[in-house]
Structure 1
Amino acid sequence: MKASEIRELLKLLEQPGVISFAGGIPHPTLFPMGEVQSTYAEVLADKTLGPQALQYSVSEGYLPLRQWIVSHMAGRGVECSSGNIVITSGSQQGLEFLGRLLLSPNDTALVEAPTYLGALQAFAAFEPQYDELRPEDGNRTPESYLSAAAAAGGSAKFAYVVPDFANPTGLTLSLAARQNVLKLARDLDVPVIEDTAYAALRFEGQALPSLQAMDMEQTGSIDASRVIYCGTFSKTITPGLRIGWLCASQDIIRRIVLVKQATDLNSPLLNQMVMCRLAEQVYERQVMSAIERYRGRRDAMLQALETYMPKGVTWTKPAGGLFVWVILPYDIDPAELLKRAVSEAHVAYVPGAAFFAAGQNRNCMRLSYSLPNEDDIVRGVRQLAELLPALN
């Protein structure tokens, strides 16, 4: 999505009475406001921690926070140490660092189509080419990726996936698809960037193993693994503190630390200290509260789509996360429809072309159920659906 298109969308969202399915952001009533306020006060009042919190710090990140993450990663089947963790200013910074570390102009990044818009934006500064990664289809040969990358003037450098409740589709990669990604990465000898921003928001079913845990079963240790795990607190505790992390081999982490030093030295230590205490005290409660809230809104959106959408419209049925991906008939362009949707139906969404590296598949839209309440979700879907028959 171009910057001009984002600005235009934001202007539309400023109109009064608009039901926004556009923002893929946490609901602010879930933020632990009291705990955040008291924790900042406690840290700053501590005679030892207070001065430290306002000082420069190591680029790797606050050690107690990294130790909490080590314990958290063990729960995802990843045995690691604090030396395998670097704290980033949100997982978005982690993606930008990985693009900087791994890409040169005309190198190829393997990404799903559609994929997370923020990843495409993070990688774009390094002028890559993109090739479509199809995890659920293991038939494409490694040689075809290599030849396509060579024809583009570079080489394949990494595969990027959002395996759990992906942005924008809400879909989860099957176990076989995860195995396909890892096999392809081994055959191409490239790393896998595993973006887990939504993994904690599982509404139903059993969690599948992370790609990093699966790869470690093959390699025997994290330092032999080719998977780089991107984690964040943004969807579970709060995005405002801008705390994420990368978990990878110590070799990769050392290289990332050098990038971090050259970029911003360290993520704000005060925020790291506060996030560490919040993670220790409220993480599980926050996750359960988010799941309860978003599950009901997901259910309301799926039921409304089933009730009101005309024939020819299909959509995904996510088991978690924040998004539903809607596929319209080919002759409907959601980008063209958006202004009418806002002005007539008072509903906003994100046109699907933004999530494709080549801008294809213009007949899709991303709907997020994170912000509107259930009544607004039903009303918004109904009003959006009423626009569609006239265009068929």
Structure 2
Amino acid sequence: MSDWSEHYATRVSHMQASEIRELLKLLDQPDIISFAGGIPDPALFPREEIAQAYQRILGDPQLSAVALQYSISEGYLPLREWLAGYMGRLGVACTPENILITNGSQQALDFVGKLFISPGDSMLVAWPTYLGALQAFSSYEPRFDVLPGENSNRTLESYTSQGAAKPKFGYVMPEFQNPTGTSLSLAERERLLDTAAELDLPLVEDSAYEKLRYDGERVPSLLALAAQRAGGIDHCKVLYCGTFSKSIVPALRIGWIVAAKPVIQKLVLMKQASDLHVSTLNQMVMHEVASARIEDLAANMRRVYRARRDAMLAALDRHMPKGIHFTRPEGGMFVWVTLPEGIDGAELLKRCIEEGRVAFVPGAAFFADRSCRNTIRLSFSLSEPAKIDEGIKRLASILKLEMAEMTHAA
């Protein structure tokens, strides 16, 4: 077989397979209880509404002519107009010219990396952070550093000291973060914006789980707060990435970026060079479904996922041995578990699959430096409460064996 390695660009060396994508293959094994993939339950997808929307659009000669033709890179105008109104209800006054439709929010992250990162640039992320963001940004060869915040011991001066490279931007998931499930309070968001202003640091706000709040009051987005401070969206340095994947359905691949018009104009050029535009047919279908049903669809998802979140927390309380710590998220799809020092999440996964037929994601995947190996991420979105209890019981049983063996070896 021919050796292609010497022909690849240097950025290819930074590309790694996603542990999550590999673990999703386990879903095909019926005896595995999987807490791995943070994916929505297909039983909640609005199949009939989507089918009817396709049928109506394709059955209309005028609409189908639009749906099946090339289109503008910015995105289907009625969808962007609806999104401008949706963002307005979230406290962000904007126009369709502030919005670009992307192939899911993952493409939005890729475009952000392409827009801001040159090889060797410093960028800031939470520690841990979303694996898909690390993958998207790594292609552009940055140096990852810790985003200022509650879990960082970095001071403002450490970012501005002589010889320190000025960070290009900060990536943050303020709502039910993947992987920890935690959220930034209003005070934490305000402090982050203060720090970003001091550093002249653009912020990229990933709001994939915005519709999945189960407890507590909604907190304004970073973009809403920053636009209020600056006197409008075109005067602030926050980019907002949204998606319909968690609130409606992922397969149509409809995400969006909201930002100042000059930024959107640059991103449109990237969209033109990348794939011209998102499928117009899919955008039209999503516009019909979202404009008619997003609130009640999201409400049903919240009802189902809240019960599963509660079941997982109850099972963790009931079965886990002492010395295991975990988050208690107010929304989203994830619980983050910290194991005793000396237990490796990746090694634990191998044993859990072989002996317990239960799967999760090792936590080191979510750290840019692959540190904190004594952590794991559990997703509760796909399993019924009874299966969640059984899976956590199996996991806890193997953990107790691991801890006993570690104590005996010491």
TM-score tier (shorter)? over 0.9
After TM superposition, the structure 1 = structure 2 runs for residues 205-284 of structure 1, keeping only pairs within 5 Å, are: 205-284=216-295
- State the Cα distance separating 1:124 from its structure 2 match: 0.6
Partner of 2:342: 331
Distance verdict in 2 for CA 1:277–1:324, change over 3 Å: same
Q: How far 1:382 sits from its partner (Å)?
A: 0.3
TM-superposed CA distance for 1:134, in Å, is 3.4
CA distance in 1, matches of 2:364, 2:46: 35
> What residue number does 1:3 align with?
17
1:158 alignment counterpart: 169
Q: Any residues of structure 2 matched to 1:27-176 within 5 Å, and which?
A: 27-136=41-150, 140-147=154-161, 150=163, 154-176=165-187
Contact 1:131/1:145, CA 8 A, preserved across alignment: no
Kindly, what percent of the aligned residue pairs are identical? Answer: 54
Contact 1:135 1:173 in 2 (8 A): no
Q: 1:110 to 1:230 in 2, by over 3 A?
A: same
Deviates more, 1:19-28 or 1:139-148: 139-148
The one of 402, 406, 410 aligned to 1:391: 402
**Corresponding position of 2:332:** 321
Q: Distance in 2 between matches of 1:198 and 1:82?
A: 22
The offset of 1:145, in angstroms, is: 1.7
Question: 2:298 corresponds to which residue?
Answer: 287
Q: Identify the range of structure 1 (9-18 vs 221-230) with the bigger mean alpha-carbon deviation.
A: 9-18
- 1:180 & 1:206 partners in 2: Cα distance? 19
Task: Work out the CA distance in 1 between the residues paired with 2:327 and 2:370.
Answer: 20
Q: Which residue of 2 aligns with 1:18?
A: 32
Please tell me whether residue 196 in structure 1 is matched to residue 232 in structure 2. Answer: no
**1:185-217 CA distances to partner (integer Å, 9 max, x unpaired)?**
111112100000001100011001100111112
Report how far residue 282 of structure 1 moved: 1.0
Point out 4+ residue stretches in structure 1 off by more than 6 angstroms: none
Tell me how far apart the structure 1 counterparts of residues 44 and 223 of structure 2 sit (CA, whole Å): 29
Give 3-state SS (helix, strand or coil) of 2:396's partner: helix
Shift of 1:15: 3.4
Q: Partner letter of residue 23 of structure 2?
A: L
Q: CA RMSD in A?
A: 1.6
Q: Unpaired runs of 5+ in structure 2?
A: 1-14, 404-410
SS at the partner of 2:168?
A: strand
- The residue type paired with residue 140 of structure 2 is F
Residue 56 of structure 1 aligns to a residue whose secondary structure is: coil
CA distance, structure 1, for counterparts of residue 236 and residue 332 of structure 2: 27
Q: 1:139 to 1:384 in 2, by over 3 A?
A: closer
Cα distance, 1:346 vs structure 2: 1.1
CA apart distance, 1:139: 7.1
Query: C-alpha distance in 1, partners of 2:16/2:280?
Result: 33
Unaligned 5+ segments in structure 1 are: none
Contact 1:136–1:173 (8 Å) recurs in 2: no
Q: CA deviation at 1:35?
A: 0.5
User: What is the rounded CA distance, in whole Å, between the counterparts of 1:7 and 1:204 in structure 2?
Assistant: 30
Contact preservation (8 Å) 1:136, 1:174: no
Could you say if the C-alpha distance between residues 65 and 8 of structure 1 is closer, same or farther in structure 2, counting changes exceeding 3 Å? closer
- Deviations along 1:131-159, one digit per CA (max 9) or x if unpaired, are 111322687433312449x55xx531001
289, 294, 308: which one pairs with 1:297?
Answer: 308
Question: How far apart, in 1, do the equivalents of 2:273 and 2:182 lie?
Answer: 36
Partners of 2:274 and 2:266 lie apart in 1 by 13
Question: 1:5 and 1:202, CA in 2 relative to 1: closer, same or farther beyond 3 A?
Answer: closer
Q: Does 1:365 align with 2:376?
A: yes
What is the CA-CA distance between 1:358 and the residue it aligns to?
0.5
CA distance in 2: counterparts of 1:367 and 1:197, whole angstroms: 17
Question: What SS does structure 2 have at the residue aligned with 1:157?
Answer: coil
Distance 2:129 2:262 in 1: 28
Q: Deviations over 1:353-381 (max 9, x none)?
A: 00000001000000000001111000000
| Secondary structure at 1:156 match in 2 | coil
CA distance in 2, matches of 1:239, 1:8: 18
- Give distance in 1, aligned partners of 2:379 and 2:24: 15
Residues 116, 168 of structure 2: 8 Å contact kept: yes
Whether contact under 8 Å (1:136, 1:176) holds in the other structure is no
Instruction: State the SS of the aligned residue for 2:229.
Output: helix
Residue identity matched to 2:233: I
- Once structures 1 and 2 are overlaid, which stretch shifts more, 318-327 or 338-347? 338-347
Once residues 137 and 239 of structure 1 are traced to their aligned partners in structure 2, the CA distance between those partners, rounded to angstroms, is 31
Q: What letter corresponds to residue 288 of structure 1 in structure 2?
A: A
Residues paired across the two proteins, number: 389
SS in 2 for 1:48: helix
Amino acid at match of 2:298: V
